[in-house]
Structure 1
Amino acid sequence: PATNKAHPRVLKLDKAGNWVPATDPLHFDKPKIAGVGPGSGFGPVIAEASPEVTIGLIPAAVGGTPLSRWVKGGDLYERAVKLAKENQKKGVIKGAIWHQGEGDSSKPELYNSYQKRLAGMIADLRTDLGEPEMPFVMGELGEFFTREGAPTVNQALHGITKEVPATAVASSKGLPAKSDQVHFNADSEREFGKRYAAQMLKLQKQASEK
């Protein structure tokens, strides 16, 4: 279930473009069915690691979408960049978290090209935001997700960490699904968010030591 408890230093950008307490659901792409996402576990961990700052989460996710809409020129890429740029005037983009791939795991031409296409998207995003070393953390597809290309998508994520600097993967190991066997359940999403946060903090620490 969603929770209305918000960390006092974690805000989210709402649909109207206002910064409000980061209660669930963080996302507004499907308001009738949206529940808990990884941001619920992610934000508080990041905030506790940086007690002097307020964390702002910019929700850009749209469920059930293919990578083709997220690469440069795609509608969701352009929307996400616009949201981020508007808020760079008020703060600093410290990283991005990514969970997608289910929609690209049914056709060989999509999952076999996933690594190259996502690596290109990361490069374009960093360029367009003027953040060439922006940490980018990707989350594995759930172990319960058995579509034929799912293992290839997960392999692609790990492949990217070997070729693209300042990237990491949050493990989905042991995280159960809802009854639909497609989405993580609420407890899994919160734990997944904590795993994203651990990887993000690791990347940020590495950057600060350069």
Structure 2
Amino acid sequence: MHLFLLIGQSNMAGRGELSEIHQQPKVEKHIYMLDADMNWQTACEPIHFDKPELVGVGPGLSFARTIKPFMDGESIGLIPCAVGGTKIERWISKGDLYREAVSRARSAMQRGKLSGILWAQGESDSADFLDAKSYKERLFSLISDLRNDLQAHNVPFIASKLGGFILPDSYPYTNLVNEALAAASDSFAFYSLVVSKGLSHKGDHLHYDTESAEELGRRMAEAWLKVVNK
């Protein structure tokens, strides 16, 4: 099984509206998700469970569906760990969410091989100058420490830029966070950053709508396929 670790905040967890189609999902052959109780389930929306009253469609399942034709019939396992409203300080090695993600990943790796890490986060850090200024250092630590702790030095790390629709009055330092995300491309092999251009929000200028969340997943999949030369 090819495993993918999904980390970040609400736009990775998913806040897109669940339609009737999503609520009556088709059986996803060869695509699985690790639930909150550490059991593998056939993948369906919502993939995440961070905030049951809010969680919706995110990029994870769309990512898996896009890469599936290139996996030679091998199964795909999604490891959802994202939590909405979180700063990157909780995702570096001393943070609680980092430890939880590593624990879930290690457990999952008993059944397969870690093949990618997907990261969508940074909105919370763009609200404060000091957080945004520290983002690059923390992001670089996150990438290095995850790869070391999971013995995944050559595993692709696919990140996404923050949505261009975020209101500067509330989040004035998105440029600093996006610059940090871009800078990682020059410092890490097997790293790719996908753009958010053309993606739309669900009416709150913060969270991707359903169609854009799924498009983000496709873009991350295309980036992953390019990194692994598929």
TM-score, with normalisation over the residues of structure 1?
0.95
Judge conservation of contact 1:81–1:128 (CA < 8 Å) in 2: yes
- What residue in structure 2 maps to residue 161 of structure 1? 185
- What residue in structure 1 maps to residue 217 of structure 2? 193
- What residue in structure 1 maps to residue 163 of structure 2? 142
Secondary structure (helix, strand or coil) at the match of 2:92 reads: coil
Match of 2:135 among 114, 117, 134: 114
Considering Cα pairs closer than 8 Å and 6+ residues apart, tell me whether 1 or 2 has the greater RCO.
2
- What residue in structure 2 maps to residue 94 of structure 1? 115
Judge conservation of contact 2:59–2:216 (CA < 8 Å) in 1: yes
Letter aligned with residue 107 of structure 1: D
> What CA distance in whole angstroms lies between the structure 1 residues aligned with 2:106 and 2:229?
24
Stretch moving more, 186-195 or 40-49: 40-49
CA shift, 1:110, in A, is 1.1
Superposed, 1:17-96 pairs within 5 Å as 17-96=38-117
> What CA distance in whole angstroms lies between the structure 1 residues aligned with 2:27 and 2:152?
29
Secondary structure (helix, strand or coil) at the match of 2:145 reads: helix
> What CA distance in whole angstroms lies between the structure 1 residues aligned with 2:27 and 2:124?
31
> What CA distance in whole angstroms lies between the structure 2 residues aligned with 1:109 and 1:160?
19
Superposed, 1:169-180 pairs within 5 Å as 169-180=193-204
Letter aligned with residue 13 of structure 1: L
Stretch moving more, 67-76 or 147-156: 147-156
CA shift, 1:107, in A, is 1.4
CA shift, 1:51, in A, is 2.9
Per-residue CA deviation, residues 147-174 of structure 1 (Å, 9 max, x unaligned), is 2111111111111011111110111110
> What CA distance in whole angstroms lies between the structure 2 residues aligned with 1:11 and 1:130?
23
Secondary structure (helix, strand or coil) at the match of 2:49 reads: coil
Judge conservation of contact 1:46–1:55 (CA < 8 Å) in 2: no
TM-score, with normalisation over the residues of structure 2?
0.87
Judge conservation of contact 1:10–1:43 (CA < 8 Å) in 2: yes
> What CA distance in whole angstroms lies between the structure 2 residues aligned with 1:58 and 1:27?
9
Match of 1:126 among 118, 124, 147: 147
User: Which has the larger strand fraction?
Assistant: 2
Judge conservation of contact 1:29–1:63 (CA < 8 Å) in 2: yes
CA shift, 1:12, in A, is 0.5
Aligned length: 206
CA shift, 1:46, in A, is 1.5
Letter aligned with residue 186 of structure 2: K
> What CA distance in whole angstroms lies between the structure 1 residues aligned with 2:102 and 2:36?
15
Secondary structure (helix, strand or coil) at the match of 1:105 reads: helix
1:14–1:174 Cα change, 3 Å: same
CA shift, 1:69, in A, is 0.3
Judge conservation of contact 2:30–2:73 (CA < 8 Å) in 1: no
CA shift, 1:52, in A, is 2.0
> What CA distance in whole angstroms lies between the structure 2 residues aligned with 1:148 and 1:13?
36
User: Which aligned runs of 4 or more in structure 1 are off by greater than 4 angstroms?
Assistant: none
Letter aligned with residue 167 of structure 1: Y
Query: Alignment RMSD, CA only?
Result: 1.2
CA shift, 1:6, in A, is 4.3
Secondary structure (helix, strand or coil) at the match of 2:53 reads: coil
CA shift, 1:5, in A, is 2.8
